[in-house]
Amino acid sequence: MMDDRTGVKAAKVCGAFVYTFLLALLLSVLFDFYYDLNDDTMIKDIVSGAYTGQPSGYCIQMLYPLAWCLALFYKAIPTIPWYGLFLCLCQFGVVSLAAARLLLSAQRARAGFVAAVVLTVLAFGVFLREFVVIQYSVTSGICMTGAVFLFLTTPPIDKPAVFFRRNLLPLVLVVLSFMIRTEVCIMLVPFLLLAGMAKWCGENKIFTAVNFRKYLTLIATAVLCIVAVYSLDMVAYRGSEWTNFRDFFDARTKLYDFYGLPAYENHQEFYDSIGLSRESYTLLENYNFALDESIDTWRLEAIVAYQEELARPAGGENGLHNTFGFVSKNDLRGALWLYRNQVLEDFRAVKNLVLRCATASWEEPAGRIPVSMAVIGAYLLYFVTGVVMTRGRMRGIAILRILCLFAVRSILWMYLFMVDRVLDRVTIPLLMMELSMLLGFWRCDCPQRVSSREPKAARSAAPLLCIAGAIAIAAVFAVNLQNVQYEYSKRAAADERWNAMMDYCRKNGNNYYVIDVYSATSYQNAPYSEKIFTDVDNAYKNFELCGGWAAKSPLAKQKLEQYRFRDVQSALCASRTGGQAKAYFVVHVDKDLDWLVQYYEKRGITIELECIDQIQTNTAERAFDVYELAKK
């Protein structure tokens, strides 16, 4: 029979799942769930079969084993949005696991209630946007955040086998994060190592055989699992076509995301040496490089190598800096200055946030500022309860933790400023992890503080601090709620245009449409995307971006071959013969296409652009123009 203690634990776990389900249900009533960017919709299209007509695990961004599993689900039941459902389950699953851990560790019902309230305002207040506007990089960060929190709050265990079993869930979350977005997982590994050191150093006796077995076994298992899934991914992409494309993909990423293109006018001699014309350079500038087959791996790698050669310690003529062999857009001193300004800006934002709450001024979204405010509040909470209100060994441990955590976060932020990649989808996981570490430290110290011989007044101040923190986070929730509503109003306008374009392509299913990249990214700063659970349609899409991270991939070539097109360039100017599909070029309204005419002229092809149709929204507003390229 189940004893009372086991029954209470089971009830708490069930309560955590019910609690998370109700919160997810509430959010689904208040909001529609969105894919954040076209990166997410592209992954969804590939694994669902909307891209090529057949579900595929070669989604490039995620590791193959995970993408293969998602494609398998789409093959079984294609009408279910498995990819979006998977991301939501990961995020809400982490919340559920955190809630279960807090409830299980709560000795009293009141403590469990307070923990649930704090978790609610954190997960769905501070990070409200991240739970309704889904981005796979952030999902990877949430999995790592959950892994660290669960690991830090695992009760002290002496037996290695029990310790390993209790930390299986954090291990699974780390591997899952690695498969979803490898780069984000690796970026957050320093926090994971710091959590491991804090946990290990918190043992009564640090250097014992038992502790070495406990922690090294867990580390070795995590490394082996990561190596295993990464090896499976390498085997899956082993073919020559995919190997060549991944080299192209890596060079394209390094060029666009980290180095940038050197100006053609100042470096024409170099571009002439690699056979890249001014017209082809323009395609690289506007991301429409899929139009030109000569823009290949060799040329992109040559540009990357040239940029690295121009970089200098004091800053090269291309604006890049070489710091001990590390090429970046900002040098160490410049990054330090930017980081200093960022920290000061976060503190100044406290005042602005209070003013916005007091005046209900919501004209502009706050971006990641509310999250930064929550992190600052967590630092203050842990400083007061861990340093000011304690003494002796506990105070020293708390100070050391704060210093180490701030050092780790500073190094990572410095790196982001050096490479100039301070994007919300990158910084939000960093802030999430930092907040999780602080809350994990605070939760681990609670039993020791309660049992220590602190003054009664000092111990009683802790609940008051928690209440004050909850009120502050609730204010942040109010700001974030307005932010999401503000963003939704802008996404609605973008949705109307993007859905009109997809409907047009669907109605003209015999044709093939190539979309100008910058015309397919956003409208009035709201990204073109899709809802996850509304109007789910995984049918084949007969359109393709003229660039982006899937361009020139074997999947992109397969998509062209279905229409018997050799490449994008010849497809656009080919005439309709023998029932062959016709390709058209789609751009936003009144876009200048002189660059397109000049590109074809450079290749000895004179074309005439004719706007044959206009894609209109439900309100009869022109959204896109459809052009036919006819040879003269």
207: left (phi over 0), alpha (psi -120 to 50) or beta: beta
Q: Which residues of 249-283 are buried (b: 16+ CB within 10 A; e: fewer)?
A: bebbebbbebbeebebeebeebbeeeebbebbbbb
| Adjacent-strand bridge partners of 327 | 322
What predicted TM-score, i.e. pTM, was given to this entire model? 0.92
Across the range 209-223, mean pLDDT stands at 92
Residue 1 pLDDT grade (very low, low, confident, very high; cuts 50, 70, 90): very low
Q: Name the percent of the chain lying above pLDDT 70.
A: 89
Q: Both tokens of residue 474?
A: 């609730």
Q: Round to whole Å and give the CA distance between 628 and 543.
A: 15
pLDDT at 445 over 90: no
**Per-residue pLDDT at 594:** 93
**pLDDT tens digits along 65-124:** 999 999 999 999 999 999 999 999 999 999 999 988 888 877 666 666 667 777 777 777
- Nearest-5° Cα angle at 570, 566 to 572: 115
| Adjacent-strand bridge partners of 326 | 323
Q: Both tokens of residue 598?
A: 């000049």
**Per-residue pLDDT at 469:** 59
Residue 362 pLDDT grade (very low, low, confident, very high; cuts 50, 70, 90): very low
Taking the CB of residue 350, how many other CB atoms lie within 10 A of it? 15
pLDDT at 461 over 70: no
**Per-residue pLDDT at 383:** 86
CA end-to-end distance (rounded Å), the chain: 86
**Per-residue pLDDT at 393:** 79
Q: Please list the alpha-helical segments (H only) found in 420-455.
A: 424-451
Residues near 67 by beta carbon (within 8 Å), at least 6 away in sequence: 43, 46, 47, 56, 57, 58, 59
CB 599 within 8 A of CB 291: yes
